[in-house]
Structure 1
Amino acid sequence: MSQGNLIRPYGDTTGDGMVQVSFTLPMKHSKVADGAALQLANKMGMEPAMVVHSKPMGDDFTFFVVYGQVNHLVDVDKVQVVERDFPLLTPKEANAVIKETLRRPLVVVGACIGTDAHTVGIDAILNIKGFAGEKGLEYYKEIEVVNLGAQVSVPSLVEAAVTRRADAVLVSQVVTQRDAHLLNTREMSAAFREAYPAGERPLLVAGGPRFDESMTTELGVDRIFGRGTTPAEVASYLVHRTTAKEPAA
């Protein structure tokens, strides 16, 4: 149902408030477990609700899909997101800006830090194969990419950035148990603050599917990219920020 910018979820008919959620409970698969799932759904504001799927996940866990109705409204005017505030460039355009403005390659150091061994994210942005039909940063003639890979310690990342005179450091974090991605990112930003004089550190960019893009200040980084980010978006941001620092003479 729409009242100005107030909207309600859509299921079978407009504004009926129907939603579908999935979750796991630490219970053996049984009718009692189904009842517990319905109780949880009711406490979440779903009523009426029904368990449309339940499946044992090992001996002591059950996975559920619950379908039901909610009465909550969403005020679209109060939604806050991080919008792209820089132009989206093609590789040719990005190379031209770097060559004209920096007059040297833009150096990017990337890694998965801590115990995170999942390089799919960082490779999708850096490797020439890229992601979603777009070439990675290695494809850009005016970008020098240093991909350190997985399980890189923060001191090693800082050392590489200093040695290679990095303009930007990209960190991918996929492992999120016990907020490891947040702890690692805070440790990294603190280390770079200590290693560089004020105003001289490279751009710090964090990315991963569980990051909140609005947490840049809290985590001490310049930009956060979430799921679905493409190489062109990252390249365009880096070009926008780094070339603005050094206008052509």
Structure 2
Amino acid sequence: MTGLVRPYGDTTGDGMVQVSFTLPMPHSKVAEGAAAQLAAKMGIEPALVVHAKPMGPDFTFFVVYGPVKHLVDPSQVVVVERDYPLLTPKEVNGAVKAALRRRLVVVGACIGTDAHTVGIDAILNIKGFAGEKGLEYYRELKVVNLGAQVSVPDLVEKAIAEKADAVLVSQVVTQREAHLLNTREMSAAFREAFPPDRRPLLVVGGPRFDEAMAAELGVDRIYGRGTTPGEVASFLVHRMTLRDGAGAPPQEPR
């Protein structure tokens, strides 16, 4: 049992979990019974329906609480670890200036019908996120924020016009795998428009992405929720120096 963990609710090792879901049924005792039955089939048994709320005339939202028997082994978890150092804005600026002798151009957008700009703005806008300034704050970065609902052809055209070094795309809308479809379309379009050695770095982010899918989706990096501007800026410098064969950027004493 060493290293295995079980969910915690009221007491250590009790396996208690809480899940929420919506059933396409009007609220009734039968609907609550159906919710408990679904929870049991999910391995939650006995399941207690602790909350049931009608969502219009034909749907009901449920919260179910109960124990599961499953154990998890953290040693078997596969994640994408950061493989580059986090740099300060000053270090990023110095690395870009030394390697490029010009500003590094970043084009950002929400593509397709996605109108949620909070994510892309958190990374690009000077106000930033989590206490960090956005990429607009970096003196040696030129940021072009195209905003929301940008078509893939328009994004490619702007990247060509701006001679972009990196393209950052945010995808929040995930219904019917829209974020995956849009990302695949975007990566294919850039590979068609650019020769391999001149294609800008493609970075996508959003709360429902699996960071391990970068190669499958044809992009250079995927970021999930909680990503900060400094992480993205450091990654751009890391990949830029690898591409140019300049080695790792110098780091100043903290």
**TM class by smaller structure:** over 0.9
Secondary structure of 1:48's partner? coil
Q: Distance in 2 between matches of 1:55 and 1:146?
A: 44
Aligned mate of 1:245, from 228, 243, 246: 243
Is residue 98 of structure 1 aligned with residue 96 of structure 2? yes
Specify the alignment match of 2:156 in structure 1: 158
Aligned mate of 1:21, from 15, 19, 41: 19
Aligned mate of 2:222, from 219, 224, 229: 224
Is residue 108 of structure 1 aligned with residue 111 of structure 2? no
CA RMSD after TM alignment: 1.2
Q: Distance in 1 between matches of 2:97 and 2:111?
A: 31
Give CA-to-partner distance per residue, 1:152-193, whole Å, 9 cap, x none. 111111111111111100001111111111111000000011
Aligned residues: 247
Name the amino acid aligned to 1:193.
Answer: R
Aligned mate of 2:65, from 64, 67, 77: 67
Q: Distance in 1 between matches of 2:187 and 2:99?
A: 27
Runs of 5+ unmatched residues, structure 2: 248-254
Residue pair 1:173, 1:181 contacting (<8 A) in 2 also: yes
Specify the alignment match of 1:58 in structure 2: 56
Name the amino acid aligned to 1:145.
Answer: V
**TM-score normalised per structure 2:** 0.95
Secondary structure of 2:211's partner? coil
Among the aligned pairs, what percent are the same residue? 79
Residue pair 1:169, 1:204 contacting (<8 A) in 2 also: yes
Q: Distance in 1 between matches of 2:48 and 2:127?
A: 44
Task: Return closer, same or farther for 1:183/1:233 CA change in 2, 3 Å cut-off.
Answer: same
Name the amino acid aligned to 1:57.
Answer: M
Q: Distance in 2 between matches of 1:41 and 1:143?
A: 50
Moved more, 91-100 or 17-26: 91-100
Report runs of 4+ in structure 1 exceeding 4 Å deviation: none
Give CA-to-partner distance per residue, 1:89-147, whole Å, 9 cap, x none. 11111111111222211110001111111111111100001111111000000100011
Q: Distance in 1 between matches of 2:3 and 2:246?
A: 45
Residue pair 1:102, 1:247 contacting (<8 A) in 2 also: no
Residue pair 1:100, 1:248 contacting (<8 A) in 2 also: no
Give CA-to-partner distance per residue, 1:226-248, whole Å, 9 cap, x none. 11111111111111111222255
